[in-house]
Structure 1
Amino acid sequence: MDIMSKTGTREERELVKMLWDADFAAMRAPASGGATKKPLPDVLAGNGRIYLAIEVKSTTLERIYIPSDKIKGLKEFSGIFGAEPYVGAKFIRQKWRFVKLDDLHKTRSDNYRLDKDLAFSKGLEFDEITGTDRQVKF
């Protein structure tokens, strides 16, 4: 197993624990990453009101590249399942950010890029995707 997949596995487990702690049922999809021909997210979670399908990416760099087939598969799965699709980005020593697929930058080679600046300007925090961040509206 290479270092990247070990890091991804650790981040996926961390996110699953955070989701359980936020009263979601959550699991890592064991067949994500190409072991099956079906498109599966890295993490799947729900609480009866909110359903999340998350492609997890972590890096020590300033940007993350994501193959277009991963995003296409995430959109397809989420549409069938009824989940909100996100890329869960964990930039090392930073808080998690969850980016909507429409906010990702499409590269010339038809793949996707997520820069740290974009993740922190447009990405949502954990409490926002789980609905636990209740802003008081007057």
Structure 2
Amino acid sequence: MFTKQNLLATAAAAVVMFLLGYLLWGMALASFLEAHTLTDVMKPDEEMNMGFIFLGNLFGAFAMATLYGKWARGYHGIAEGFTFGALIGVIIGLGMGFVWLGTSNFMDVTGHLVEAATDIVYYGIAGMVISLVYKATSKKEAA
């Protein structure tokens, strides 16, 4: 669990998730999602805590890297990594998204569907990064 391979994959994915999250939700989709938000629960920009946001990304990346190491069984590639991450995105974006849609007034249906599609891409990219680090740090077979 705390192997060099897993920790490097965790670090790389945490940085990518932090930066990509800012690009996707903080910039590209901010206005769109705001228009589909029903209840304003977000903190103002000046009250957001980047340390906690990064810590959340770090824990998420660690969980993903640990699960990926067991799921991949030594087959590391971009397609495998994206598939793994996209499945995580389906769990979060569609699984939790529909639960939130059924239990809260956070966003409308369109907002949740766009959020789900974004989660699939976001976690797919994180999975690719994890896979590439695993591939780059795996022991090479003697020919």
TM over 0.5: same fold? no
Quick check: which one's helix share is greater?
2
Q: Which has the larger radius of gyration?
A: 2
TM (norm. structure 2) is: 0.29
Structure with greater contact order relative to length (CA < 8 Å, sep ≥ 6):
2
